[in-house]
């Protein structure tokens, strides 16, 4: 069972992560997140019921993805990259804020670690993670189509296998440790 403090930290982090996607999409001209009520810091707007339940039981879960329509953007490919980067960047900013707070008041170090793991995890180029949307929009269009056709349907399976086998930790932990060292925590 998940530690209640860690659960609270995850709820805050997931909420801000999803809000960041919605905020950037809205600022770049896509009204879809606003129309769906996602321009909110209310956690209930951003939590996926199944993802939250699994989070409580298995220490792994997810938030409700923010739906966007890239055709509302002036520069669809560039703007989708910016929207995709917004979530992980918000987690890095939260981690830095929590690091600074940690120097002043005793907050759980898990708040820092959670945000770094969320940022790095979401930057993996595996569908449906943010990193896959970033990669697809940075690739030439023909390569992006090929990549999507090859990996979109298998992304969940790949993620599931990485989590179940524990390989995800082998991928994420060295990167998170590098960030901790770099940010002088």
Q: Which residues contact 163 (CB under 8 A, 6 or more apart)?
A: 60
Query: What is the rounded average pLDDT of the residues 6-11?
Result: 87
pLDDT value for 74: 97
Distance set, CA 167 to CA 27, 28, 96, 164 (Å): 37, 36, 26, 8
Using one digit for the tens of pLDDT, what is the confidence trace for 126-143?
Answer: 999 999 999 999 999 999
pLDDT band at 147 (very low <50, low <70, confident <90, very high): confident
Mean pLDDT of 166-182: 94
Q: What is the pTM of this model?
A: 0.93
Give the residue-averaged pLDDT of 43-55.
90
- Look at residue 57 in the predicted model and tell me its pLDDT: 79
Tokens describing residue 128: 């449906």
pLDDT of residue 35: 98
Residues 170, 172, 175, 180, CA torsion sign = negative
62-118 pLDDT tens trace: 899 999 999 999 999 999 999 999 999 999 999 999 999 999 998 889 999 999 999
pLDDT tens string 10-37: 899 999 999 999 999 999 999 999 999 9
CA distance 158 to 163: 9
Is 18 known to be catalytic?
yes
The whole-number pLDDT of residue 1 equals: 64
Residue 185 in this model has a pLDDT that exceeds 90:
no
Contact 77, 135 (CB under 8 A): no
The answer on pLDDT for 58 being more than 80 is no
Instruction: Indicate which residue of 18, 80, 141, 149 is catalytic.
Output: 18
Query: Are the C-beta atoms of residues 152 and 136 closer than 8 Å to each other?
Result: no
Q: What is the dihedral of CA 120, 123, 127, 128, to 10 degrees?
A: 80
Residue numbers of the domain that contains 57:
4-182
How many folded domains does the chain comprise? 1
Question: 3-class DSSP state for residue 60?
Answer: coil
């Amino acid at each position: 069972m998940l530690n209640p403090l860690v659960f609270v930290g995850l709820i805050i982090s997931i909420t801000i992560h999803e809000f960041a996607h919605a905020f950037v999409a809205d600022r770049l001209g896509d009204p879809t997140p606003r129309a769906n009520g996602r321009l909110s810091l209310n956690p209930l707007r951003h939590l996926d019921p199944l993802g939250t339940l699994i989070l409580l039981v298995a220490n792994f879960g997810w938030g409700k993805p923010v739906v966007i329509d890239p055709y509302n953007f002036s520069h669809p490919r560039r703007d989708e990259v910016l929207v995709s980067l917004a979530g992980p960047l918000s987690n890095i900013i939260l981690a830095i804020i929590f690091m600074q707070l940690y120097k002043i008041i005793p907050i759980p170090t898990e708040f820092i670690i959670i945000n770094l793991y969320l940022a790095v995890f979401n930057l993996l180029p595996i569908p449906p993670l943010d990193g896959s949307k970033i990669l697809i929009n940075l690739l030439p269009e023909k390569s992006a189509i090929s990549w999507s056709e090859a990996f979109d349907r298998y992304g969940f399976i790949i993620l599931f296998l990485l989590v179940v086998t524990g390989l995800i930790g082998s991928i994420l932990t060295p990167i998170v440790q590098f960030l901790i060292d770099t940010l002088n925590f």
